[in-house]
Amino acid sequence: MQNTLIISAVLSFIIAVCLGPILIPMLHKLKFGQEIREIGPSWHKKKSGTPTMGGFIFIIPVILCTLLFARTLLGVSLMVFALCFGIVGFADDYIKVVKKRNLGLTEKQKFLLQLAFSVVFIVVSVYGLKLIDTLVYIPILNKKIDLGIFYIPLALFVLIGCTNSVNLTDGVDGLASSVTVVVCAFLAIVSYMEGLYAITVVNVICASALLGFLVFNFHPAKVFMGDTGSLFLGGIVCSSALLMKNPLILVIAGGVYVLETLSVILQVASFKLTGKRIFKMSPIHHHFEMCGWNEKRIVAVASLVSALLCVIAYLMFI
């Protein structure tokens, strides 16, 4: 098993590093450059034209290495769901960069697509393939509770909510990539301890591919992952948590994702109710930018916080 993990990790990293110099010029040639939204930080405008859809740099090695080293029902199910969300992200990116509609898919369109894929995944995994049961561990009570049919809305919340949280985190060079490396490493460790080796392999492959992607995505970024990449990553970490039969673990381990989403919700709610903003800008990584933090500092702190939250999640759930 250890040899499989080492070989798959090295191969995934090498493929990602080799793909960068091939795909980035292609994206430039196709003029798949990111348009920077006016509501973002003004200094982000210099990033306009940086190619997006760079998520393929890590998606391709994840697919190839999963088929080579984790071709089991569990591993393939995980990858297929992640691909479904990646397809939603690709459609969004395609509309933005090809159709020149900066907002891409409407929120309703994106939600309905994600909802459809999530419902199919949950129903098939729980009632068809029996990969998941409806028991949920509650750390405060220190016991598992059978939610029955009510497991479905919880699973939907985890899949759709957390996946979109990963998407929101992708707003600073290397941020979503770095945080997800930490989360994937944590999920790999926990799944290994629980004997779910296919999930371990996929998460090791994903973390390694992301390290290869960071060669090009770290500040100053030569390429962005786009919604293609961020939704794919959300699909990986969220479906991993569900297939590990521990969906709530991601709420803690993926706390940085959760914080990004909460900052947007609180900002909108505060402005609508009081006319005042809590943060200088949301999501919260933009707030820290407005406070004078550079992008490398934000990524470093977020990665350290993610590591700490993963330790807390381990102590609470394992």
Which percentage of the chain shows pLDDT scores above 70? 92
Nearest to 218 by CA among 50, 10, 25: 50
pLDDT tens digits along 142-178: 889 999 999 999 999 999 998 999 999 998 999 999 9
Average pLDDT over residues 224-231: 94
310 inside domain: no
153 inside domain: yes
CB atoms within 10 A of CB 41: 16
Integer CA distances (angstroms), 101 to 94, 113, 207, in order: 9, 19, 32
Whether the full predicted model's pTM is greater than 0.85, yes or no, is yes
- pLDDT above 90 (res 194): yes
298 inside domain: no
Query: Which one is predicted more confidently, 50 or 79?
Result: 79
Question: Domain range for residue 45?
Answer: 2-250
- pLDDT above 80 (res 36): no
Domain count of the chain?
1
